[in-house]
Amino acid sequence: MTAACLIADIGGTNARFAMVDEGSLAVRDIRVLAVSAHEHIEQAIRHYLAEVGQPLEGIKRACLAIACPVEQDCIDMTNSGWCFSRAALARALALDELRIINDYTALAYSLPHLAEQDKRKVGGGAARPGFPIALLGPGTGLGVGGLVDGRPLVTEGGHVDFAPNDEVELAILRHLWRRYEHVSAERLLSGMGLEHLYQALCDYHGETATAYGAADIGRHALAGSDERCVETVARFFAILGSVAGNLALTLGALGGVYITGGIVPRMTELFAESRFRERFEAKGRFRGYLEAIGTWVVVAEQPGLLGAAAALLAEEAGA
């Protein structure tokens, strides 16, 4: 009988749990539990297993993807209040193996296994197997990473310098220099970045900015109901194209570039019509190199769970 493995994707608000058979990527029995409803992670795991009728003694391996640093034995989830020792949790659950990975590492692991309906292609050629894959995720911050030789590459690439591409972006940079000594890509390519861009563009046009949050800007851009919000989102996608092109060159990402996070997947039509690809490819002598690299938006509902399953599979294969 094939052994069952526990997988999870745990954020500050929700904990997504599922089961997967050893040697498989077929995720099943998905449940989403509120983190705040459980005093600690062991309680949440036991609640989940009881809900799906899975005996704890039938599980010997688990992989948890968690939205926080995971290098130490003590895992402190500052956004939720959960704090635990990986060694103590493994003992409490009688696990032979407990693997804990960062949530962005799980996303990287998921990329080669995404079904066609879980991603939307936005230009470029086919992915070349065996070559590096790049990953960018504008959301609360700007996650940047990839997959090289089948292994996740976790970086702090969101904090590279923002490089303006035209006079408008030079004005945006000057606007942000009033507030920040170092203007990183993340200052523009994130939820807060949308707000920074909107305020800078209002300043550029000599207008008084409305007190819009990122969600307001996105909503008005989708509806076409505010000219400056439309311009803000268009500029956001253009700058993302430049940063993604830089990452593709740095990694040699002939395996493709994937965009995830909480912003772009909600605006896929605007993204497809934007200058993202134009700016992605605008690298002078290396235009042809970048034209051949495919870019995709990840629209999968549970890529973190798939990535946790893929991490276990990679462990079995010795990767």
Q: What tokens were used for 11? A: 């954020």
Question: What pLDDT is stored for residue 171 in this prediction?
Answer: 98
Contact status, residue 63 vs residue 10, Cβ threshold 8 Å: no
Task: Give 38-77 pLDDT, tens digit per residue.
Answer: 999 999 999 999 999 999 988 999 999 998 888 899 999 8
Question: What pLDDT is stored for residue 69 in this prediction?
Answer: 83
Question: What pLDDT is stored for residue 1 in this prediction?
Answer: 58
Contact status, residue 110 vs residue 313, Cβ threshold 8 Å: no
115-299 CATH pick, 3.40.50.10860, 3.30.930.10, 3.40.367.20, 1.10.1660.10: 3.40.367.20
Among candidate residues 262, 268, 273, the one with its CA nearest the CA of residue 301: 262
Starting at the edge strand that comes first in sequence, how are the strands of the sheet with 133-138 ordered?
Answer: 119-121, 295-298, 257-259, 133-138, 142-148, 151-154
pTM over cut 0.95: no
Per the annotation, binding residues are 8-13
Question: What pLDDT is stored for residue 161 in this prediction?
Answer: 97
Q: Which residues of the chain have pLDDT under 50?
A: none
Question: What pLDDT is stored for residue 319 in this prediction?
Answer: 55
Question: What pLDDT is stored for residue 318 in this prediction?
Answer: 61
Per the annotation, binding residues for ATP are 8-13
- Domains of the chain, by residue range, sit at 4-104, 115-299
* Range 4-104 classified under CATH 3.30.420.40: yes
Question: What pLDDT is stored for residue 106 in this prediction?
Answer: 93
